[in-house]
Amino acid sequence: MPIPQKHQYLAPLCDALARRWPDNRAVSLVCHGHSVPAGYACTPFVDSFHAYPHLMYRTLSQRFPYAVINVIVTAVGGEASDRGAARFEADVLCHKPDLVTIDYGLNDRGLTLEQAENAWREMIEKSLDRRIPVILLTPSWDQSWFSQSDEWHALEKHAQQIRRLAGEYQVGLADSFAAFEHEVNEHGNLLNLLSHWNHPSPLGHALISGELTAWFPAR
């Protein structure tokens, strides 16, 4: 099934973000995942203010200037989706989020596709059971693209699986993988998008943030 329309999926949330005081309320967005949303750049250096959760926060604050927005990052460097699912209720749902984003594709190559799918399904279903909208992120690229190795082809397969899950559950999709592909095809330099072997540069994070904020049409 196709994913929802960007201008429709988060319409109630965008309405809430557009309300002015005294009719507005705090809106909480939780970014769950591995080292990329956590802000790791050239490990062990962390650059949170150029990572996509903060860039998303800045864009949404400009787009919805009356909103009180909390962007909460529950990401853990080095973690795959099985561990993220295990702590999902304690670390994510405890915040009573208005939106959850999930980003584990890079590290899920350490799992089988089936193991990753089960973990993603668990997190998606726990969110939807509470009527919390979800945006899934396909993985950003890493330097395995240069060798077109088995590791690279595994990343492609995880991206395809994440797209399939977004369609099946009718949730949002931030297709970071496709955004990197387009940028490399247009400008031909993946290294400009990376700050480390597998971590995005500020430009790479800006691409991911753009994929996310496209789901928040201005009011």
Do 161 and 102 meet the contact criterion of CB atoms below 8 Å apart?
no
Containing domain of residue 184, as a range? 6-213
Q: Tell whether the model's pLDDT for residue 14 goes beyond 90.
A: yes
Cβ contact 179:207 at 8 Å: yes
Question: Is there a domain that residue 205 lies in?
Answer: yes
Q: What is the pLDDT of residues 41-87, one digit of tens each?
A: 999 999 999 999 999 999 999 999 999 999 999 999 999 999 999 99
Residue 159 tokens read as 């991206």
d(CA 95, CA 35): 20
Domain with residue 113: its CATH number is 3.40.50.1110
- How many structural domains comprise the chain? 1
Is residue 57 one of the residues assigned to a domain?
A: yes
pLDDT tens digit string along 143-163?
999 999 999 999 999 999 999
The model's confidence at residue 182, banded by pLDDT at 50, 70 and 90, is very high
Residue length of the chain: 219
Separation in Å, CA 202 to CA 22, 48, 129: 36, 10, 35
* In-domain check, residue 1: no
Q: Let me know if residue 138 belongs to a domain.
A: yes
- The confidence score (pLDDT) of residue 62 equals 97
List phi, psi (to 5°) of 116: -65, -45
